[in-house]
Amino acid sequence: MLFACEGTYCGRFPEKPSQWMEDDFEGGVSRWWERTEGAVVAQGCGAKHSGSTLLFSGAGPRTATTKEMDTRFVKYLVFNLQIGSSEAGGRCQAGRVPRDNVVVEYSVDNGQTWTSLQQIEAPHTINRRSAFFIPLPAGARTRHTRFRWWQEYPGMMMADDPSLGERAEWHLDNVMVLANETLPLALFDDMDSDRSTSDPWFQQAGAAVTPGCDSNTSVLLFSGAAAPRYTETWDFQASESTVVQFDINMGCTMASQTSRVDLQYSLDNGRTWQLVQELCAPPSVDCDTFHLASSFTPALHPAWTRFTTTLPKAVVGERTRLRLVEEGEGARAASWALDNVFVGDSCPWMCSGHGSCSHNSCRFSRRMGYQSLAIPRRLCRRSTFRSFVRSVVPGGRSRSHGHVHLGLALHRGERLRLDGPHQQGDWLD
């Protein structure tokens, strides 16, 4: 109950249902849960799962029920769930169908009746690489909605049921019920700022913010045992001028040459993913510009490299999310790191290649070896730009040792991206 005043009455009022919840169980069972049975906060199923989860291993009922929430503006119920494990050495036995199925339900009448949202089978959770996104039907989007996850137990089954036997353990993690109608236009993380009000990350695996990888400041270091290791942003509103920029180092430790990290985008809340840039090279004529794929390997990115790109035309005006994820045979053989992530369209002149983009400003980057954050006072004449391109592109290098990439698109002389340590005077002014 909440003590408050309304009009001439002061007294106790029922607390208003929360409009959101987000629980990764790192601090125990949070205030958003009405009841849990047969569960403890512990490491999840699978030898490679890291971090805390709500692990269901009790002999009797296994259930978790949320408190009432206002879900009128919520589109999805989001969570990670795994039933059993197929890994040798995992703490959970292999799951069986239908004995170990987990049912997800909602109630709008204080738990008197429940309506099924989805029944999840063990094979659909093993080695799953993304969270479950369950669209909420109109009947579930009310001022007073509860959710619960539960698994049958022997007391609920008939004695002659052939599926009787010891049930597989299962875990629940990263449960989110969030009002997601309004989308941000920009995302930013320098790994040093306070994330309590502006954390751009929806979910991560195998990553930790810590100094490392030849950096004295904090970076997002991917060295955990989770498989696959990845980081995924929240949805944002993409525009024609949205730019993605980040620093990446694929050479934190010795690595297999088959290790690869891909920059991908999704327009359907993480169900399907595509590369931000597919490889386009001669003699192809199906793309606007020639560029490499948005993939990173120890061979091509053995040290800190700043990557900058625009987004495909398909994302303009759409709900968009990004992720960096390990792909390919040999993944997880090496540690890699990420820093100074910026997604948005308010970066003055992309800091002229001499710094990293921040909120409407530029930040000096000593790690990248840049000497100045000067912003051009005037546009280059087209003739000057063309002569520069002719003198640089054939050789593939600038006057010092900066590599020229045509990945950002040479659209009528609009933009030229230079990667590598440049000296003042090597960029256009």
- In the prediction, which pLDDT does 204 show? 84
Average pLDDT, the chain: 77
Say what the pTM is: 0.64
- In the prediction, which pLDDT does 356 show? 80
Instruction: Answer yes or no: is pLDDT of 182 > 80.
Output: no
Q: What contacts 391, CB < 8 A, 6 or more positions away?
A: none
> DSSP labels for 337-371?
EEEEEEEES--GGGGGGSEEEETTEEEE-TTTT--
Task: Work out the percent of the chain whose per-residue pLDDT is above 90.
Answer: 31
Instruction: Answer yes or no: is pLDDT of 153 > 70.
Output: yes
Average pLDDT estimate for 190-198: 71
> For residues 132 and 127, what is the distance between their CA atoms, to the nearest angstrom?
13
Instruction: Answer yes or no: is pLDDT of 231 > 60.
Output: yes
Q: What contacts 184, CB < 8 A, 6 or more positions away?
A: 234, 236, 237
- Lowest average pLDDT, out of 25-29, 86-90, 346-350, goes to 86-90
> For residues 87 and 183, what is the distance between their CA atoms, to the nearest angstrom?
39
The amino acid that residue 289 corresponds to is: T
The amino acid that residue 256 corresponds to is: S
pLDDT-derived band at 100 (thresholds 50, 70, 90) equals: very high
Q: Tally Cβ neighbours within 10 Å of residue 305.
A: 18
Instruction: Answer yes or no: is pLDDT of 391 > 90.
Output: no
- In the prediction, which pLDDT does 70 show? 92
- In the prediction, which pLDDT does 215 show? 87
In terms of average pLDDT, the best of 23-37, 171-185, 284-298, 376-390 is: 23-37
Average pLDDT estimate for 354-377: 62
pLDDT-derived band at 218 (thresholds 50, 70, 90) equals: very high
Q: What contacts 132, CB < 8 A, 6 or more positions away?
A: 77, 78, 79, 80, 81, 118, 120
> For residues 111 and 177, what is the distance between their CA atoms, to the nearest angstrom?
18
Q: Tokens 């795994």 identify what position?
A: 82
> For residues 261 and 406, what is the distance between their CA atoms, to the nearest angstrom?
20
> For residues 310 and 276, what is the distance between their CA atoms, to the nearest angstrom?
8
Average pLDDT estimate for 17-22: 76
Cβ contact 174:232 at 8 Å: no
The amino acid that residue 280 corresponds to is: C
> For residues 310 and 405, what is the distance between their CA atoms, to the nearest angstrom?
13
Average pLDDT estimate for 70-76: 88
The full set of domains in the chain, from first to last, is 21-177 (2.60.120.260), 187-381 (2.60.120.260)
Instruction: Answer yes or no: is pLDDT of 337 > 90.
Output: yes
> For residues 40 and 201, what is the distance between their CA atoms, to the nearest angstrom?
26
Cβ contact 235:269 at 8 Å: yes
pLDDT, tens digit, for every residue of 240-268?
Answer: 889 899 999 998 887 566 789 999 999 98
> With the C-alpha atoms ordered 248, 252, 256, 259, is the resulting torsion angle positive or negative?
negative
| β-strand pairing of 260-266 with 319-327 | antiparallel
